[in-house]
Amino acid sequence: MAYNSNSVNISVEAPIENQIQEITYDGQEIYQAPLTLSESLAKYAQKIDFSRALSEINVKKESGDNSDDSKSDGDSKDAFQSNLWPWDSIRNKLRNAYQEVCVLSDVLTIAKEKRYMVLDPVQQEPIETKPMVQIYARKKALTGAASVLLTGAERLKTSQNELLRNRSTPDFHIELLRLRQNWRLKKVSNSIIGDLSYRTAGSKYAQSGMFEVTKAEEEEKSSSPPSSPMPVPAPAKSNSSLRVTVPSELQGVAYIEVLCQKDQEDLCSANINLLNSAPTTANPDVHWQQKLEAAQNVLFCKELFNQLAKEAVQLQAPIPHMVVGNQIMATVLPGIQLVIGLCHSTSSEKKSSQLTPPPSKSDHDHVLEHSLHQLLREVHHKNTHHPFPHPSSAPLGPSKKRYLAGPMAADRYELLEMTQSETLLEQIIKQAQHFFMRMRTEYVLDTIAKEVKDPLISSHWNTLNSPTQSCVKINISTHGYDAVCRTPLVIHVGEKSLKCICRDGKVMHMSYEPQELRDLIFCHINQHQILAVQALAKTMGWQFLGNSNHLGLGAVEPLGNASSCLLASPIGDRLIAVRCEPQSGVQVSVVHSPRTDFFPSRLVTERKWEHLGGQFREVRLEKMEGRNFLHKMELLMASLTSNS
C-alpha cells in the first residue's frame, strides 16, 4: 500500500469452490469445510490493523482512509474488548509483524536510495548433487507411487468382483433362508448356530452336532490376479456367500464297513479301506449342503458304531464278540466272522491313502451296511413315534401291549418278555447268518444242478422275502416227462437252519451245514427216478408189481438207502427191475418168462415152468439209445411190449 504508485494492481478473490485440504493417493480430494459465520468473522478480524488502537505506536506514512478504517475498527474492538479478549494474541502478533514490515520498508527505502547502502549479489555455492542418490530417491518415490496405484487397482478389482459375484450368487440372507428351510438354526448372541444331530428325529446320542454359520469372507488376498481384464471366477470356486463350520470331529467322510470273512485269513489285514468316490468335506469349496450332509452322516455312523460296540460288550454270546479300536468282530457261523468297522477319513488321511491305494480285499457288504442304517433309523423312529393312548387320559409312555397287561392279567413271564427287545447287533448278526445260509443254499442247489443232468433240478427263489427268511421252491423233473412226474420241494431258509417240506408233506429240519441239504437233494433225486418210472409204466400199460423206498438188499449205501421197483409187461411175460442207489446210480434188469422159444431139458421138462421166471439180466443203460433215463426206460418198455 505504501508503494502502490510503482506496483501493479493485483486483484485477489476467493475461489468459488471450497479449498482442498488434502489429495489422497487415489486422487480423492478432501475439501475443507466452508467457514462458518463466526470463523469468517475471526478471519476478517485478523486483517484488522490494531496499531491505531494503541496510542504508543507511532504511525508512519499511512494513507488517511486506511487509518480511519482501522480507527473505526479499533473503536469497535474497544467496545468488544471485554468479551473478545482471546484475540489479544492475534493483536500482539499483528503488531509485531507490522513492526517488522515497517523495518523492512525502511531498509528497502535506504537500499533504493543507494546513497547509504548498496546491495551486491552474493555468489552462492552450487548444491552438490550425487547422481546415485538421486536415482535411489527417484526409485523410492516411484515404488511409492506404484504401490499406491496397485492398491488402488486392487480395490477397484475387488469392488468389480463383488459386483460380479453379487450377480451370480445369491445374497447371504437368501442363502441363510435356504439353509433355514432344511436345517435347524438359532441365533446365539452374535453368531448363528445350527444343529445337525438326529436328536429331533429320536436319537439319544450324546455327541452334539453343532455347526456355525458365517458369512463367506472376500476372496483371499493370495489369489493371483487373472491375466484377462475381465476376471472370470474359477468354476471350482464355491459361489456361495455362506460358510458353515462343522466341528473337526465331524469333518471328513465316514461310513460303516461291514465285512464277512472266513476263518482268520485276513483278520489282521482287514484294515480300513477308503472309498475314493466321496468328496472330501474339509475342502472349503464344497457347498454347505453337501458339507452338512456329510457331517450328519459322520455323526450317524458314529452313533451307530457306538451303539453296536456297547451291545457287543454287553451281549453274552457263546463266542464273545470282540471290540478292538474301530472294529467289532462277531462270529456268525462257525468259521465265519462279521466285522463291522467305522471308517472315518479326514482330508489329511485321504491324501496319504491316495498315495498308496488300498488293495481291495474282502468285499464290503453294502446290503448289510444298509440294513444297519435301517435298523438304527428304526430305533430313532420308535423313539419318537410312541402310540397315542386311548382313552386320551391314559399316560403317554407305556406301549399298548403293556397297557393291556393289567386287564389281560399278564404273568411275570409275559411282562419280562415285553421288556426284552433285540439289540441292533443281534439283528444284524441274524441277517448275516441268513445271508450266509442263503448263499450256501444257492451254492448247493447250483452245484447239484450242474452235476446232475438227469433229472433236471430247477429252483425258484421267492422274490418276496424278509432280511432273515427266504424261501426256495425246487422242482425235480425229467426233460420231456414233466407231465408224467415231478417232485416238488420247498426249502425255507432261516437264520441258522433250513426247513424242507417234501413232496409227501414230511418236514425236515436241517442245520447250517450244506452237506445235509446236499444229501437230502440226492435222496430226492433217487426217489424221483423210481416214482417217475412207475408213473411212466402206468402210461405204457405196464403193471406195477411193487416197490421199496428203502431196500434192505445190496451193498450198504453211505447215505440213505437204495430204492427199487418191479414192473411187469401188459401180458406179464416180461419183468423190469429198477434199482436206484444214491451213490452208484440206476441199475435196470430184465427177465423174460416164458421165453419165446422153449427147449425142454432134463430139469425143466414142461413149458409151464417157464412162467416162474428166470434169471435177471442187467441192461447196459449207457449203451442204450435215449436222451435220459426215462426216455431209455420208455424205449425199453416199448421194445419189450412190441415183441409180445
Partner 1 sequence: MAVIGSATDTLNTALKSNIVPDQEYLLQGSVLDQYVEVLLHRLRGLCDNVDSGPESFHDHELCFTLRATSGPGSAMVLPLRVRRALDVPEAPWQLRYVGQHELGDKNRPTVVRSSIDMACSSTIVEFLTELGCRMDFEYISRGYMFRKGRMKITVSKVFKMGGLTNKPGESVEPISQSYLVELSVLAPSGQDAIAEDMRVFAEQLKPLVHLEKIDYKRLAHLQ
- Position 396 contacts partner 1 (CB under 8 A): yes
Stretch that binds partner 1, among 129-137, 251-259, 364-372, 386-394 (CB under 8 A): 386-394
The grid cell for 498 is 433250513
- Position 413 contacts partner 1 (CB under 8 A): no
- Position 393 contacts partner 1 (CB under 8 A): yes
The shares of helix, strand and coil residues in the chain, as percent rounded to the nearest 5, are 40, 20, 40
- Position 407 contacts partner 1 (CB under 8 A): yes
Amino acid identity at 599: F
Contact letters (x/-) for partner 1, 365-384, by CB under 8 A? -------------------x
Size of the site for partner 1 (CB under 8 A): 18
Nearer to partner 1, 27 or 395 (CB): 395
Smallest distance from partner 1 to CB 172, Å: 27
- Position 609 contacts partner 1 (CB under 8 A): no
- Position 390 contacts partner 1 (CB under 8 A): yes
Nearer to partner 1, 63 or 200 (CB): 200
Smallest distance from partner 1 to CB 497, Å: 36
Nearer to partner 1, 386 or 607 (CB): 386
What CA–CA distances, in Å, run from 569 to 147, 351, 538, 609, 640?
Answer: 118, 82, 10, 18, 8
SS3 state of residue 577: strand
Candidate list 388, 546, 606, 612; residue touching partner 1; CB under 8 A: 388
Are 496 and 431 contacting, i.e. CB atoms less than 8 angstroms apart?
A: no
* CA 495 centroid distance within chain: 31
DSSP H helices, 169-287, are 172-182
- Position 394 contacts partner 1 (CB under 8 A): yes
Contact letters (x/-) for partner 1, 496-515, by CB under 8 A? --------------------
Nearer to partner 1, 239 or 383 (CB): 383
- Per DSSP bridges, beta strands 29-31 and 184-188 are unpaired
Stretch that binds partner 1, among 49-57, 149-157, 289-297, 392-400 (CB under 8 A): 392-400
* CA 200 centroid distance within chain: 20
- For 329-349, the DSSP string reads EEEEETTEEEEEEEEEE-HHH
- Position 463 contacts partner 1 (CB under 8 A): no
Residue 413: count of CB within 10 angstroms of its CB: 8
Query: What DSSP character marks residue 364?
Result: B
Candidate list 98, 403, 609, 616; residue touching partner 1; CB under 8 A: 403
Smallest distance from partner 1 to CB 382, Å: 11
Stretch that binds partner 1, among 35-43, 82-90, 385-393, 471-479 (CB under 8 A): 385-393
Candidate list 119, 234, 404, 635; residue touching partner 1; CB under 8 A: 404
Stretch that binds partner 1, among 49-57, 224-232, 396-404, 571-579 (CB under 8 A): 396-404
- Position 411 contacts partner 1 (CB under 8 A): no
Nearer to partner 1, 15 or 406 (CB): 406
- Position 142 contacts partner 1 (CB under 8 A): no
Kind and range of the H or E element at 310? helix 288-314
Candidate list 86, 406, 546, 552; residue touching partner 1; CB under 8 A: 406
Are 367 and 185 contacting, i.e. CB atoms less than 8 angstroms apart?
A: no
Nearest to 533 by CA among 636, 425, 412: 636
Contacts of 308 (CB under 8 A, 6+ apart): 328, 340, 372, 424, 425, 428
- Cα–Cα distance between 230 and 242 in angstroms, integer? 24
- Cα–Cα distance between 317 and 333 in angstroms, integer? 12
Contact letters (x/-) for partner 1, 255-284, by CB under 8 A? ------------------------------
Query: What DSSP character marks residue 85?
Result: G
- Position 386 contacts partner 1 (CB under 8 A): yes
Candidate list 385, 506, 602, 623; residue touching partner 1; CB under 8 A: 385
Are 579 and 606 contacting, i.e. CB atoms less than 8 angstroms apart?
A: no
Nearer to partner 1, 188 or 396 (CB): 396
Stretch that binds partner 1, among 128-136, 146-154, 267-275, 398-406 (CB under 8 A): 398-406
- Position 546 contacts partner 1 (CB under 8 A): no
Nearer to partner 1, 139 or 402 (CB): 402
SS3 state of residue 559: coil
Whether the CA torsion 239, 240, 241, 247 is positive or negative: it is negative
What CA–CA distances, in Å, run from 434 to 96, 362, 494?
Answer: 114, 19, 6
Nearer to partner 1, 391 or 552 (CB): 391
Nearer to partner 1, 384 or 639 (CB): 384
Whether the CA torsion 592, 593, 599, 602 is positive or negative: it is positive
Backbone angles phi, psi at 580, to 5 degrees: -120, 125
Chain residues binding partner 1 by CB under 8 A are 384-386, 388, 390-397, 400, 403-407
